[in-house]
Chain A
Amino acid sequence: EVKLVESGGGLVQPGRSLKLSCAASGFSFNDYWMGWVRQAPGKGLEWIGEINQDSSTINYTPSLKDKFTISRDNAQNTLYLQMSKLGSEDTAIYYCARGGYGWWGQGVMVTVSS
């Protein structure tokens, strides 16, 4: 069974950094693109970006390109999202998804507040 489990969320102060993880199981992780999507409270879905199988191609939504970094560790079957210079506008549920977006994690909440 495909499983994606995000972790690393929580309360963080404005201007600080946070790194999210997404542990994958039930499929051959290194065969798939992986992506991140977020959803602010009561709002719609916003695509953050995605990374290909060998990390040679990483695409971002332009407004987040300078703040967020996507990476992966195929040996650990784990996807990462490094977030820096966080502001209140980054408060959201963060989802990881397998390429094709047919499988999503349960999401992890990030709250940016002092």
Chain B
Amino acid sequence: DIVMTQSPSSLAVSAGETVTINCKSSQSLFGSVRQKNYLAWYQQKPGQSPKLLIYLASTRESGVPDRFIGSGSGTDFTLTISSVQAEDLANYYCQQYYDTPLTFGSGTKLEIK
């Protein structure tokens, strides 16, 4: 199985700051046929279902604010949230879909000071 290592496990920031969440996979998620990285990011607010934010490592899902930016390739990926807002309080998960079983990172809890 591909292991997804996510860091940090939690962080607290003030509104307006920029946040960086890291995700490292145990093997490359780059697919040579489509030349894409099969990595997604999800946001899960308290009491809600997960919501897809980013797919193919850097493509924003429709309706997702442009302050959410996905980057990285191969085994190292980053979710950057610029100018964090109070509504961004949530858990964030990375997920690889390069191979089955699909696997998630352990999550990052974002708190707003």
**Using a CB–CB distance below 8 Å, which chain A residues touch chain B?**
35, 37, 44-47, 49-50, 59-62, 95, 100-102, 104-107
A to B CB contacts below 8 Å, 10 in the list: A37-B50, A44-B91, A44-B104, A47-B104, A59-B101, A60-B101, A61-B102, A100-B52, A100-B55, A104-B50
One of A35, A59, A60, A105 near B49 (C-beta < 8 A): A105
One of A35, A45, A106 near B93 (C-beta < 8 A): A45
Number of B positions contacting A (CB below 8 A): 22
Q: A residues within 8 A CB of B105?
A: 44
One of B1, B100, B101, B104 near A45 (C-beta < 8 A): B104
**Using a CB–CB distance below 8 Å, which chain B residues touch chain A?**
1, 40, 42, 44, 49-52, 55, 61, 91, 93, 95, 97, 100-107
Are A59 and B52 touching (Cβ within 8 A)? no
How far apart sit A49 and B101, CA to CA, in the bound complex (Å)?
7
Given A44-B107, A46-B104, A101-B40, 11 other A-B residues pairs in contact with their CB atoms under 8 A: A44-B106, A47-B102, A60-B101, A61-B101, A61-B102, A62-B101, A95-B50, A101-B95, A101-B97, A102-B52, A102-B55
Q: A residues within 8 A CB of B40?
A: 101
One of A45, A49, A50, A100 near B50 (C-beta < 8 A): A45
Residue of B nearest to A101 (CB): B52
